[in-house]
């Protein structure tokens, strides 16, 4: 293959006068530079495309009836379709974050020692949703369960879709 290219180049060099060879080489170099610049621009535009994900997140705060934060509360989100479980533990300020959750419907359960378990069913996550939740746990033991259909203190910070 390399020999073939060398023969063709030598043949073209013998046929074309030196002035035309200079013009042709200039055009080839110009087109090569343009191709390299376009390829470089394409490469620079690609990283944002890789950063887009089809996920959402649930974040929030867990408080007791008096409004004080509960540190160390366990937060469990179970995807309804697959029964896949995602968990988090609240920090000293009672805050938690469940990032990069697959889209779908979830049941969110919050438990802490000395408090009743709080369960929120049918929490729907769509692309890019940032669901914020403030849970207030009632005093009692973990065997008791408080189930709510509505999410007081829950909002979606995705400006495209506002669901409360």
pLDDT in 10s for each residue of the chain, 164 residues = 545 554 445 555 555 555 555 566 677 878 777 888 887 777 776 665 555 678 999 999 999 999 999 999 999 999 999 999 999 999 999 999 999 999 999 999 999 999 999 999 999 999 888 888 888 898 887 554 554 433 444 444 444 443 43
Q: What are phi and psi of 14, to 5 degrees?
A: -75, -35
Q: Report the distance separating Cα 45 and Cα 62, nearest Å.
A: 41
* Closest C-alpha to 137, from 68, 87, 42: 68
Segment holding 34, helix H or strand E? helix 18-50
Q: Report the distance separating Cα 143 and Cα 20, nearest Å.
A: 90
pLDDT of residue 124: 93
Architecture of domain 55-156: Sandwich (2.60)
pLDDT of residue 142: 59
Q: Report the distance separating Cα 123 and Cα 86, nearest Å.
A: 14
Q: How far is CA 20 from CA 12, 133, 150, in A?
A: 10, 73, 79
Domain ranges of the chain: 2-50, 55-156
User: pTM of the entire structure?
Assistant: 0.59
* Closest C-alpha to 94, from 118, 123, 74, 121: 74
pLDDT of residue 153: 43
pLDDT of residue 54: 86
């Amino acid at each position: 293959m390399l020999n073939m290219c060398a023969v063709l180049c030598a043949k073209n060099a013998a046929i074309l006068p030196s002035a035309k060879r200079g013009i042709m080489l200039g055009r080839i170099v110009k087109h090569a530079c343009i191709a390299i610049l376009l390829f470089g621009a394409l490469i620079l535009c690609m990283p944002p495309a890789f950063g887009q994900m089809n996920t959402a997140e649930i974040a929030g705060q867990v408080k007791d009836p008096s409004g004080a934060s509960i540190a160390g509360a366990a937060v469990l989100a179970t995807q309804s379709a697959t029964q896949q479980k995602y968990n988090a533990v609240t920090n000293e300020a009672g805050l938690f974050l469940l990032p990069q959750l697959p889209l779908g419907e979830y049941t969110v359960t919050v438990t802490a020692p000395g408090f009743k378990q709080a369960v929120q069913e049918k929490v729907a996550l769509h692309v890019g949703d940032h669901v914020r939740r403030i849970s207030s746990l009632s005093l009692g033991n973990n065997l008791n369960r408080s189930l709510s259909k509505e999410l007081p203190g829950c909002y979606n910070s995705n400006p495209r879709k506002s669901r409360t």
